[in-house]
Structure 1
Amino acid sequence: METIESAGYSPAWLGLREPADAQARSAELVAEVRRLLTGAARTEVHDLGCGTGSMGRWLAPQLPGVQHWVLHDRDRELLRHAEARMAPAAADGAPVTATVRRDDVTALTVDDLAGADLVTASALLDLLTADEVDRLAATVRAVACPALLTLTVVGEVRFDPADPLDGELTAAFNDHQRRHSAGRPLLGPSAVEVATEAFTRHGATVLVRPSPWRLGPDQAELTERWLDGWIAAAYEQRPELAARPGGYRRRRLAAAAAGELGATVEHRDILVVPG
């Protein structure tokens, strides 16, 4: 629901979702990243739209060797959180350091990513436009390093138990994700397809793997918070859905709060390997 411009990611929300993000991301692609970086004496990682730094906390301890992370975001508060809470050590105990840069991740240049051995991002591509993704693909090609881009939504949600209105709410939410924001046509659920085509066109090999959120009774608070935003976005896109009889929002939120609703929210992880 959030956009790059509004920076609607609070530290509380990002902290709530961090365990689910970590569990969802593709271990297979991390293994491939380790193979690509084998033998490096020092690895510099540029994390785009870093938020509170969850990608670094998750990935740095899985990679060996000395690492320096450059954390890019527009939000000063999030950057402070990210810098203060960076993982201290790599998989083999080597030191991990971090610096922050407050900048616009939709317009990064080759100079901004100079020195990068790996580019990372999480839950970012669906908030970009096709032109912004193409610029990112061209920039990563020029830097000639791999990129691990995780947790991009693909517009598929399954609930347990299901409800007859789930399909209409999903379609409305997906339309909302593809809306124009400050004149920018967001990719939303089209992002994986568009990004794959763009990076491939710029000479890279692209590996795509599933990274689903699986929300259940043990994540009732996250399920409720995510569902509340999901329904609100769908209703904003199609207000007539809120007027339907039966109280969909009330029923579904009550079930989520009680730990009686499960949801699988499909995402995809992308690993870009330079040609």
Structure 2
Amino acid sequence: MTAYAPEWLYLREPADAAARAAELLEPLRDYLPEDEEVVIRDLGCGTGSLGRWLAARLPRAQRWILHDHDTELLTHARTNLPRTALDGSPVDVVAEQRDVTALRAADLAGTSLVTASALLDLLTKDEVTDLATAIVEAGCAALLMLSVTGRVELSPADPLDDDVTAAFNAHQRRITGGRRLLGPNAVDAAAAAFARLGATVFRADSAWRLGPGQVELQRQWLDGWVGAAVEQWPDLRPAADGYLERRLDQASAGELHAVIHHGDLLVLPPSLEAAA
């Protein structure tokens, strides 16, 4: 799995929080049990951004089990999640270093909710199918947020926008370590996988909306976005160098507006429908 610096994850956290589809929380709250502790497994937790956003928005006592392959990120996450829920109930937090692609239904036994943020697009079709199968077979819900969908809107427009977007999306779908990543296809693939298994799937759009008040995030995102595009299509480099310089100048001058689209999924297990 890709490694991310804590500094980048903290920098993007306010944009993540603003983008998350809060409308998915009402059906999730309605689903979660009222008279028992809610057990939440956060896959690829990073610094704990999703936990910080979600824990205080859910009522009832919660036990968060944080999963990541990076021990430094696990330390950040474990020590920085809220300790009280929406209704003042306690929030307990533990961390486990493990490969989230290897989770199966038995590993999720007793779990109420599986969460993940910016994870699905890093997985392959088979890995998403296996994850969906594990979640449905374990009978738990899932809240899977901020997966890239490949659509970027920049203002002012530039003639190279479409080429850079296409190259970046190709990079997101690249083969790495023998794995073909889903990239922008991840939300559709995951929704289809859960639906085939009989789960109820709610979809919502989520997007970063970056303006003059987020110059440093704009600059770092541009560096990574254009850098990945050039890595995928090296012939783009001569034009992309000038493009990046123009865009960075616009960001520094407070002239750049960027909308980077993502998709969020809430999945409720088939048992919910069967019991209705």
Query: TM class by shorter-chain length?
Result: over 0.9
Offset, 1:246: 8.1
> Which of residues 12, 15, 18 is equivalent to 1:20?
15
Moved more, 19-28 or 249-258: 249-258
Map of 2:142 onto structure 1: 147
Map of 1:234 onto structure 2: 229
Map of 1:100 onto structure 2: 95
Give the AA of the match of 1:98.
Answer: V
Q: Deviations over 1:20-59 (max 9, x none)?
A: 0011001110121111115142100000000011111100
Q: Percent identity?
A: 56
Moved more, 238-247 or 82-91: 238-247
CA distance in 1, matches of 2:199, 2:114: 14
Pair 1:189 & 2:162 matched: no
Q: Deviations over 1:144-186 (max 9, x none)?
A: 0110000010000000111011001000000000001111000
> Which of residues 197, 220, 225 is equivalent to 1:225?
220
Question: Partner of 1:211: helix, strand, or coil?
Answer: strand
Offset, 1:113: 1.5
Mapping 1:44-123, distance limit 5 Å: 44-123=39-118
Give the AA of the match of 2:256.
Answer: L
Q: Deviations over 1:213-263 (max 9, x none)?
A: 100001111011011100000111111212128811111112123322110
Map of 1:127 onto structure 2: 122
Taking only aligned residues, the RMSD between alpha carbons, in angstroms, comes to 1.2
CA distance in 1, matches of 2:169, 2:223: 15
- Structure number with the higher helix fraction is 2
User: Any gaps of 5 or more consecutive residues in structure 1?
Assistant: none
CA distance in 1, matches of 2:100, 2:41: 11
Offset, 1:203: 1.3
Aligned pair in 2 of structure 1 residues 46, 246: CA closer, same or farther (>3 Å)? closer
Q: TM-score, normalised by structure 1?
A: 0.96
> Which of residues 149, 163, 182 is equivalent to 2:158?
163
CA distance in 1, matches of 2:114, 2:251: 36
Pair 1:269 & 2:264 matched: yes
Map of 2:196 onto structure 1: 201
CA distance in 2, matches of 1:227, 1:132: 29
Moved more, 92-101 or 36-45: 36-45
* Equivalent residues, number: 270
Contact 2:230/2:240, CA 8 A, preserved across alignment: no
Q: Deviations over 1:103-161 (max 9, x none)?
A: 00111122322211011000000000000000001100111011000001000000011
Question: Partner of 1:111: helix, strand, or coil?
Answer: helix
Contact 2:226/2:240, CA 8 A, preserved across alignment: no
Give the AA of the match of 1:113.
Answer: L
Q: Which ranges of 4 or more aligned residues in structure 1 deviate by more than 6 Å?
A: none
CA distance in 2, matches of 1:32, 1:169: 38
Aligned pair in 2 of structure 1 residues 194, 245: CA closer, same or farther (>3 Å)? closer
Give the AA of the match of 1:187.
Answer: L
